[in-house]
Chains A and B, each alone.
Chain A
Amino acid sequence: MRNNRDRYIAFVMLLPSLILVGIFVYGFIGQAIQTSMTDWGQNPAQPPLAATVIKSFVGLQNYENIMTDTLEFYFRNALVNTFFFTVLFVLGCVAAGMILALLLDQKVVGEGFFRTIFLFPMALSFVVTGTIWRWMLQPGGGVNILPQVLFGLPPIEFSWINSRDVWLPFEWGNVPAYLTMAGIAILAFLAVRYASARRWRASRYAVLAAVIVLLVFAARLWDFVWLPLDTPEAETPIAPKGFNAALVGIIIAAVWQMSGYTMAMFIAGIRGVPEELREAARVDGCSELDVYRRIVLPQLNPIILSAMIILGHISLKIFDLVFAMAGPDNAKAVVPGLLVYTEGFRENAFAKASAIAVIMLFFVTLIIVPYLWSQLRESRSRGR
C-alpha cells in the first residue's frame, strides 16, 4: 500500500518534466523526421519562407538525394570526416588524458597547479579554441615558423586547414562492402565468444550462423541492401574520399581542449582504487609498472567507456570548432552539423537540413542507446 502511494507521488512529481521533455525533445525530433520527408525548400514553386508553405510528402527522397546526387558530395565528405574525426579525437583524448593522469599520480610537487593548467582549456568555448588555433595554424606563420624561430630550422610546409591532401584514399562506392565486412567481423567475434562460453553444443548454432553470414557475404547481398548508396562515377575526381589532411589541425585543437577533461575523469578513477589493493600487489612482488597494468588500469575500464561515449557524441555533433577554424565552405573539413546550418539557414533547404540532422541523431543514438541500456541493466542488477 505504502509502496503504491510512493510510486504515485513519484509519478506526479515527474510528470511536468516528462511532459516538457516529451514536447521539446521527442516532439521536435518527430517534427524533424517529418520535415525530412517533405519537399520544404526543394520545390522552387513554393518559397520556403512563406507564411503558408505547401510541403508535400516525398518519403525518403531527401535521404536518397544526399546519398546519391553528384552535387551533394559535401554530405558524403562530412560523413567520412565525422568517422575519422571521431576515431582520432576519442583516441587522442583518451591517450593524452591517460598519460597526464598517470604522470600526475606520481605524487608530483604542485599537483593541484598542474591539474588546473591541464583542465583549463575546457573552460574555453570551442569558438575561442578554434579562433586561437586557426591563427596558430596559418600556413605562413604560427606553428609552422616555430622551428625557424626557435632553432633556425626550415619552417614546416604543411598548410593545415587549407590542405587539400587526402590520405588513405578509398572509393565511396566500396563503403557498403567495408561496412558489411565490419558487421560480419563483429558477428563472427560474438559467435566465437558465445560458442566458447557455452561449450560445443551451442557452438553448432554459432557455426551455422557464421556459415549463413558467410553465404550472405558471398552472395554480395549488400549490392541490394546498399543500392541507394551507390554514387556516380564522378565522385572520385570531384570529391575523393579518405582522411582529409585539413582535419589534422582541427583534431589537434579538439584534443587540446578535451584531454584535460578525460584526465580529470581518470585521476578520479585512479584515486578510487583502494591503496590496500596496490599495497597487496606490491607485497606480492609487483613492480610499479605491473601495479598500473594489472591493478589500476583494469579498474578504469568503465571510466574509459564513459569518456569514450561522452567524447564520441561531442564529436558526432561538432559544429562550433569547425566553423571557427575552417569556416562553413571548406569542403575538406565539412561536418554534418555545419551542413545542417548552411543548408537550412543559408540556402533555405529545410527538408534537406532535417534529413542530415536525423542522420546525425541516428549515429548519436547508435552510441548512446547501448550505453544507457548497459548502465540501466547494471544499476538494476546492482539494485537487486
Chain B
Amino acid sequence: MKKRLLIIGVLVMTLSLIGIVRAQDLSGQLEIFSWWSGDEGPALEALIALYNSQNPNVEVINATVTGGSGVNAKAVLKTRMLGGTPPDTFQVHAGQELTGTWVVAGRMQDLSGLYAEQGWNEAFPPDLIDLLTVDGAIYSVPVNIHRSNVLWYNPAKVEEWGVSVPATWDEFLAACPTLQAAGVTPLVVGEAWTVNHLWESIALGILGADGWNGIWTGETLANSPEMVAVWNRFSEILACSNVGADSAGLSWQQAVDKVLAGEAAFNIMGDWAAGYMSTTLGLEPGVGFGFAPAPDTAGSFMWLSDSFGLPVGAPNPDNTIAWLSLLGSVEGQNAFNPLKGSIPARTDAVAAAPDLYNAYLQSAAEDWAGNRLVGSLAHGVAANERFMGDFNTVMEVFIASGSAEAAASAMSAVCITSGACAGA
C-alpha cells in the first residue's frame, strides 16, 4: 500500500513537471496496440496517463487484445498489417519477433535518429540494442526487461527438506532422490511452452553464453555433440519433474502455486513469477519465496523485452514518436515497470528511484547491468517465429521418442527450414 502511494506520488510529480516543461502541440489520435490487459493493464494505463498529461490534445486509443504473451494479439496484428491498416505503434518482443518478422518484411521505420537525439545509445545496454538493429538501423524502443533463467523455491520448505538451493544441475540431480523420497516433485513444469522455457535455461547452463549465442550464428550446430549433451541432460532433469504426470494441464501460475504449497521443490520460470508472488499473492521476496539464477547460469542474464516501434504507414507518426520518447525516458520506464513487475531496460533508471523496486527487482537490475546478456528462445528474442513454432515439434519428437539424437537431428532440420540458425 505504502509502495503504491509512493508510486502514485512520483507519478503525479513527474506528470506535473513534464506538463509544465513540455507543451507540445500534438493533436489527433494515437492507437497503441498491445496485449496488456488484466493484471498488466494498470502499468500500461500509467504510461498512457503520463502521455495524456504531456499531450493533452491527443486522443489515445488503447487497443488491447487479451491473451498471455500475445498469442491472440499477434494474429490480429498480422491480419491488420497484411490488410494495410497498421496501428500507430504496437507491442512486440524485442529481438527476432521484431526483426525476423517485421523488419525483414520492410514494415518498420528506422528509429536511430530518435536514439541519437534522446541519448539512448548509452542508456540501453549494447547487447540489447544489437538485437533491435538490422544493418545499422534501430527499429524499436524497449520498455521493460524480464529475466527467463530464474529458479524459484520456497525457503522454509527447502530448509525443512534439508536440501540446498542447487547452483548446478549436478547438485539438483543429487538432491532429486531425497526430494522424491519425501513425496515432493523436485522440479515442476506446466503446459507446453513452460517446458520450452525450462529447456532454454538448461541449454544456457551447458553451452554457456557464447555457446548459446552460437546456435543462432551457426557456430554451435544443432546436431553437434554439445547439443546432444543438452538433450541428454534435459532428459535426466525431466525424469525429476512432473512431465508425463499432470504437467500439460498446469498454467505457469499453478506450477508456481505447487512450489509455494510445498508439493514441488523448484520451478524455473521468468521473473513475471516474482510479480505474481509479490503483487498477486502478497509474498515478500526472499522470505515468502526465494530466487536464484537457474543452475549453471549464474553470471548470465537470459532476457526478453517488450518494445514498441513505428510501423510503416502509421497514421499519426508524430504522436508515435512522442509516445516512444516517453517510453525510453527514465520517468516513463519508472512509471511502467514497478507496476508491471519488471525492470527498466535503461541501466540508469533504477538508480534514479530505487524505492520503487522491491528486493527481487533490485537484484535483477544489478544483474542486468553486470551480467552477460543472452536472448531468450521461448520468448521470441533469439529465433524467428517459424523456428519457435517448429521447436514445439522438436520438443514433441524428444518427449515421444526419448532420444537425444532424434531431437538434435530434428532441431537441425528445423534450423534449415526456418533459416534461424544461420545468423540473421
Contact = CB atoms under 8 A, between A and B. Distances in A.
Interface of A: 41-42, 44, 47-51, 70-71, 73-74, 134, 137-140, 159-162, 164, 234, 237-240, 326-331, 341-343, 345-349
A138 B389 contact: no
Contact of B248 (A50, A162, A342): A162
Main secondary structure of the interface of B (DSSP, over half): helix
Contacts of B392: 329, 331
A327 B386 CA distance: 18
Given A138-B246, A234-B406, A346-B75, A47 B389 contact: no
A71 B413 contact: yes
Residue with the highest number of chain B CB atoms closer than 10 Å, among A159, A240, A347: A347
Given A44-B418, A238-B406, A348 B386 contact: yes
Interface string B95-109: 000000110111100
Given A330-B248, A347-B389, 8 more contacts: A44-B418, A49-B107, A70-B413, A71-B394, A134-B249, A159-B249, A239-B396, A329-B193
B414 interface: yes
A127 to B, nearest CB: 12
Interface string B239-278: 0000011111100000000000000000000000000000
Residue with the highest number of chain B CB atoms closer than 10 Å, among A49, A240, A341: A49
B82 A71 contact: no
Contacts of A327: 191-192, 248
Nearest to B196: A329
A51 B107 contact: yes
A49 B82 contact: yes
A137 to B, nearest CB: 8
B81 interface: yes
Contact of A345 (B75, B248, B390, B418): B75
Interface in B375-424: 385-386, 388-390, 392-394, 396-397, 399-401, 403, 406, 410, 413-414, 417-419
Contacts of A329: 191-193, 392
Interface of B: 71, 74-75, 78-79, 81-82, 101-102, 104-107, 191-193, 244-249, 312, 385-386, 388-390, 392-394, 396-397, 399-401, 403, 406, 410, 413-414, 417-419
Given A239-B400, A327-B191, A331-B396, A348 B248 contact: no
Contacts of B105: 47-51
Contacts, number: 111
Contacts of B71: 328, 346
A51 B311 CA distance: 12
A139 B245 CA distance: 8
A71 B414 CA distance: 8
Contacts of A330: 192, 248
A48 B385 CA distance: 11
Given A162-B249, A237-B400, A346 B385 contact: yes
A353 B32 CA distance: 29
B390 A347 contact: yes
B401 A238 contact: yes
Contacts of A139: 245-246, 249
9 contacts: A50-B104, A138-B246, A139-B246, A164-B400, A238-B400, A240-B400, A327-B191, A345-B79, A346-B389
